[in-house]
Amino acid sequence: MFKKEIRVLGIDDGHFDKFKGGQALVVGALFRGGRVLDGILSTTITVDGEDGTHKLILLANKNKFKPQIRCIFLDGITMGGFNLIDIRRLNAATGIPAIAIMRKFPDVSKIKSVLEAIGQQEKVKLIDGAGPIICINKIFAQLAGITPEKAKAVLDVCCTRSNIPEALRAAHLIASGVVLGESRGKA
C-alpha cells in the first residue's frame, strides 16, 4: 500500500527537569520508511506549557522536507511534561496524518486526575479529543487523518528494528543524546 521509501517524520522530546520548568528540546527525524535518515529538525517547547501543538505545526510546515512528509509519528500526545499535543489540530494545520505511538496502554484516568488537580481542565479536553487508543502491531496509537488500516500499513513499512517506527526511535536517541550527552531510555 505504501512505498518502502515513504517519507515520515518522527518527533520526540529530550530530557527535561520537570521541577524547574523552562524549555524542552524537541527533535524531528525525517526518514525514508524505516531505513534512511534524511534530515533532522528541532525546536523547543515550554515544559508543562501550551505551545507544543503550535511549535510542532511550525516544525512540520516550515522546512524544506514538507512536501515529502506523508506521516508524523509522535511519542504519545504529551511532550515536555504536560505540554499536550492536539493531534487533530496538528493534522488539520499540516495536512499530514499524525499517529501518536505508545508502548503501553496509558492510565488515562490517572493523567486526567493529575491535570484536574493542578487546574489544567482544558488539557483534559485535549486528551478526550485525541480519539480512542487502539492497538496496532503490539503498540498503542491515537490517530488523526488516517484510518487504522492505513496506519498499520505505514507502521509495517516504518518499523524495521522494533515495534516503534525508526523515525521515532531516532528522534528519541538524538534528543536524549543532545540533552544528556549520551542517549538513554527506551527508544
The alpha carbon of 49 is separated from its chain's Cα centroid by a whole number of angstroms, namely 16
Q: How much is the pTM? A: 0.94
Instruction: Quote the CA–CA distance of 32 and 95 in Å, as a whole number.
Output: 19
The pLDDT tens digits of the residues spanning 121-166 come to 889 888 989 999 999 999 999 999 999 999 999 999 999 999 999 9
Statement: 7-180 belongs to CATH 3.30.2170.10: yes
- Identify residue 54 by its one-letter amino acid code: H
C-alpha cell at 55: 511549535
Instruction: Give tens-digit pLDDT for 18-33.
Output: 878 899 999 999 999 9
From residue 1, alpha-carbon distances to 4, 68, 73, 100, 150 in Å are 9, 17, 18, 21, 8
Long-range contacts of 133-139 (CB under 8 A, 24+ apart): 133/102, 133/105, 133/106, 133/108, 137/163, 138/163, 139/101, 139/102, 139/103, 139/163, 139/164
Whether the CB-CB separation of 33 and 55 falls below 8 Å is answered with no
Residue 150: name the closest of 93, 103, 97 by CA. Answer: 97
Give the DSSP letter of residue 63: S
pLDDT at 187 over 80: no
Cα 46 from Cα 38, distance rounded (Å): 27
